[in-house]
């Protein structure tokens, strides 16, 4: 098999290549004053978060998974003038700054070497770090204010892009603190030679759609959660495009609670085998899906595809029907309500499958992990006491670029 092949048609085919982002200087920008705005529930111990992330990456590479680091990919594309110009412009596209400060920031960023620029685009640029700062907005700012805000949520590489078949969807992130992440993933997908010629399925200018809400249930079948981060319009747009490009025949649209604890579909359910998933017990019996399909005749313009919508039906029933299987197994974690809520909050349902019946999970979710093992799923436990402060588990922290077909 070509190790440079890209694409995925399931959540559980053997994982070959994945994009990770090792937490770095951007996490050191978090303070009690800004962590809520930057979507973290606390101020993580950065050195420990890095140790935990290194342990995660080591488990992947030890099982033959190629790990691509986002900062290295970004540094490489910043050697290309077109990518550099795009990313500098995106970094200063902020109405807070005003024209004078924008010009000063562009001059500063444009003078940085690729590696230094990559670090600054991720970690941000504070007022007192800007060479040649000037203008009214600059003078009014406090020394610790950010001209270019940091991107601590880059850790969660699943959200800003998702591969469907051999094409990549650059997503439209809902929260203002994360908007600029998609400009980085788009630049990498567009300009890095590793991904030359890859079709782009979605764009950050479209309706809100986040990768954590997109599950590849199996070949030709997607589930898309709609709630706090992904809108029904985003799910509809994605459905039209995957149908028009022959990447799927069914999209299940799954409403989820618009709450921090259930920000994405993958916070409550992830696949651990070709016909099995682990799911938060509190929603196992109430989760429903609308089934979206399309006729055989597709117009050239994907965005005018007429969709057929039916439902709602219980999610597990609709999923099994779409996947062409008798039933979708939901692993019963056997949790009491309090433990279930605690382990869901700690990303117990956010697993990353390395292959069928082999999944990475946070070690702290002991009861959920024991239930997975009892159901025949080998669990690869990793530490995550600091990584989890941004509310994301192993699936959130990984963007599969290549999986074997089932």
Check residue 1 and give its pLDDT. Answer: 41
Fold for the domain defined by 153-403: 3.75.10
Question: So what's the pLDDT on residue 385?
Answer: 80
Query: Whole-angstrom Cα distance, residue 60 to residue 16?
Result: 9
What's residue 303's pLDDT?
75
Q: Please report how many Cα atoms fall inside a 13 Å half-sphere around the Cα of residue 108, on the Cβ side.
A: 23
- Catalytic residue status for 399: no
Residue with tokens 């588990």: 393
Catalytic residue selected from 49, 70, 83, 396: 396
Dist. CA 303–CA 218, nearest whole Å: 24
Confidence at residue 175, expressed as pLDDT on a 0 to 100 scale: 86
Q: What residue spans define the domains of the chain?
A: 153-403
**Quick one: pLDDT at residue 338?**
61
Using CA atoms, how far apart are residues 262 and 269, in angstroms rounded to an integer? 10
Q: How far apart are the first and last CA of the chain?
A: 14
pLDDT by position in tens, the chain (length 406):
454 678 999 999 999 999 999 999 888 887 777 776 766 667 778 889 899 999 999 999 999 999 999 999 999 999 999 999 999 999 999 999 999 999 999 999 999 999 999 999 999 999 999 988 888 999 999 888 899 999 999 999 999 999 999 999 999 998 888 889 999 999 999 999 999 889 999 999 999 999 999 999 999 999 999 998 899 999 999 999 999 999 999 999 999 976 555 578 998 899 999 999 998 877 878 899 999 998 776 655 677 778 999 989 999 999 999 999 999 999 876 666 666 565 554 556 889 999 999 999 999 888 889 989 999 999 999 998 887 776 688 999 999 999 999 9
**pTM score of the predicted model:** 0.92
Structure tokens that stand for 357 in this block:
């019946």
Angle at 87 (CA atoms; ends 83, 88), nearest 5 degrees: 115
Q: Please, are residues 223 and 217 in contact by the beta-carbon 8 Å criterion?
A: yes
C-alpha to C-alpha distance for 8 and 16, rounded to whole angstroms: 10
Asked whether the beta carbons of 53 and 18 are under 8 A apart, the reply is: no
Q: Give the bridge partners for 225, in sequence order.
A: 254
pLDDT of residue 374: 92
């Amino acid at each position: 098999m070509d190790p440079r092949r890209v694409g995925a048609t399931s959540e559980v085919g053997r994982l070959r290549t994945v994009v990770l982002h090792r937490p770095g200087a951007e996490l050191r920008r978090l303070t009690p004053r800004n962590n809520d705005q930057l979507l973290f529930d606390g101020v993580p111990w950065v050195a420990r978060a890095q140790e935990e992330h290194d342990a995660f990456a080591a488990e992947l590479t030890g099982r033959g998974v190629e790990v691509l680091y986002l900062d290295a990919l970004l540094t490489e594309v910043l050697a290309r003038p077109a990518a550099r110009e795009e990313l500098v412009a995106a970094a200063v596209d902020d109405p807070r700054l005003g024209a004078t400060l924008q010009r000063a920031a562009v001059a500063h960023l444009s003078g940085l070497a690729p590696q230094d620029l990559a670090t600054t685009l991720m970690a941000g640029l504070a007022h007192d770090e800007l060479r040649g700062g000037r203008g009214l907005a600059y003078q009014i700012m406090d020394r610790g204010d950010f001209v270019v805000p940091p991107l601590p949520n880059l850790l969660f590489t699943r959200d800003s892009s998702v591969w469907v078949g051999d094409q990549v969807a650059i997503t439209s992130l809902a929260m203002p603190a994360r908007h600029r992440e998609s400009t980085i993933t788009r630049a990498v997908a567009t300009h890095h030679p590793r991904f030359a010629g890859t079709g782009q399925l979605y764009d950050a200018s479209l309706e809100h759609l986040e990768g954590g809400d997109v599950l590849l249930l199996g070949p030709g079948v997607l589930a898309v959660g709609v709630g706090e981060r992904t809108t029904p319009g985003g799910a509809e747009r994605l459905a039209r495009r995957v149908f028009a490009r022959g990447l799927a025949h069914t999209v299940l649209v799954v409403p989820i609670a618009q709450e921090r604890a259930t920000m994405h579909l993958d916070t409550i359910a992830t696949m651990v085998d070709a016909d099995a998933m682990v799911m938060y017990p509190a929603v196992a019996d109430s989760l429903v899906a609308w089934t979206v399909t399309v006729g055989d005749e597709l117009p050239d313009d994907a965005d005018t595809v007429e969709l057929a919508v039916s439902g709602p039906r219980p999610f597990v029933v609709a999923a099994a029907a779409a996947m062409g299987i008798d039933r979708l197994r939901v692993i019963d974690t056997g949790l009491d309500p309090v433990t279930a809520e605690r382990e869901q909050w700690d990303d117990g349902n956010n697993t990353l499958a390395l292959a069928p019946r082999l999944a990475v999970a946070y070690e702290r979710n002991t009861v959920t992990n024991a239930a997975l093992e009892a159901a025949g799923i080998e669990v690869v436990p990793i530490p995550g006491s600091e990584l989890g402060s941004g509310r994301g588990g192993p699936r959130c922290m990984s963007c599969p670029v290549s999986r074997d077909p089932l």
